[in-house]
Amino acid sequence: MISLRHLSTTFAARGKDPITAVDDVSLEIARGSIQGIIGFSGAGKSTLLRNINLLERPTTGEVIIDGVDLMKLSTEDLRQSRHQIGMIFQGFNLVNNLTVAQNVELSLKFAGVSSANERRARVAEALEIVDISDKATVYPAKLSGGQQQRVAIARALATRPRVLLCDEPTSALDPFTTATVLQYLADINRELGITVVVVTHEMEVIKALTDHVAVMESGRIVERFAADRLHDKTFAPTTPIGRYLTSDGIHVDRGQHAAAVDAEAAELAVGGRV
Ligand SMILES: Nc1ncnc2c1ncn2[C@@H]1O[C@H](COP(=O)(O)OP(=O)(O)OP(=O)(O)O)[C@@H](O)[C@H]1O
Ligand SMILES: [Mg+2]
């Protein structure tokens, strides 16, 4: 469904060296699968995700969605193609002075659905999918974080996309609410056949939701594995970063000074020893 070929994204910074946020990444994502992308802060996860709908246009490479290279499309064709790709974010990004229904309707207006009746029907359908129809006339500020994210999912689904991109979808939520939101994403994948790409730094999210995992470090995919291997106690990723991310929880040594731990983390981040 998604084929990324030799993608690189470089940000030019005035007076500084350019930053290569995505560095020659190639990745195939099968139709109907859930691909996880994990890595430390600054690894390039969000940039890679935004490359998939050209929200951030890669500097070089090919982004092929269902056989079409988005990089080669005209502005108008790209606008049309983008409606096949929904996106949700850590911060939900709802418009505060619009109701829940109006927020969802807005994406349909942007998608050029001109019939008000059609929009109303699609808003109702999308709110139904995430069981939030009862909040249609409420403003986002009156909702919990989990409810806001469900509205954001409804907004992303209203245009009936074939791909859903999720950037840290549960990082602002407590563990219970996280489980609920992940369940909705799993249902949407299974029942609607939508291909899902989820960027996270939480291994729990990867374990609970995904089929395939790609580990990113310094703009590159350094390792990939099938997510079900995470349930195998003998499984050990081959890269230091993969092993660190799959290790259990955060370790704090109460006899050690933070600066020492910091130095160790810095060494790890530049691909040093573990
Ligand atoms: N618009 C931009 N302009 C310049 N540099 C950018 C821009 N966006 C990202 N970067 C840089 O690119 C690198 C990768 O950033 P990115 O946001 O993709 O990382 P990330 O893995 O999503 O991190 P996090 O887990 O903190 O969200 C970082 O060094 C970041 O500072
Ligand atoms: Mg990010």
Instruction: List, for residues 171-198, the tens digit of each pLDDT value.
Output: 999 999 999 999 999 999 999 999 999 9
Burial code (b: 16+ CB inside 10 Å, e: under 16) for 161-198 equals bbbbbbbbbbebbeeebbebbbebbeebbeeeebbbbb
Which residues are near ligand 2, the ion (C-beta closer than 5 Å)? Answer: 46
Ligand 2 centre to CA of 134 (Å) is 32
Question: Are β-strands 220-226 and 212-217 bridged in parallel, bridged antiparallel, or unpaired?
Answer: antiparallel
- Which of ligand 1's atoms lies nearest the C-alpha of 201? 25
- Report pTM: 0.90
Identify the CA nearest to 82 among candidates 90, 92, 70: 70
Q: 121 or 80: which carries more pLDDT confidence?
A: 121
Instruction: List, for residues 137-155, the tens digit of each pLDDT value.
Output: 999 999 999 999 999 999 9
Residue range 248-268: mean pLDDT, rounded: 69
**CB within 6 Å of ligand 1 — which residues?**
11, 19, 21, 39, 41-47, 201
Instruction: List, for residues 12-27, the tens digit of each pLDDT value.
Output: 988 889 999 999 999 9
Ligand 2 centre to CA of 42 (Å) is 7
Ligand 2 centre to CA of 87 (Å) is 13
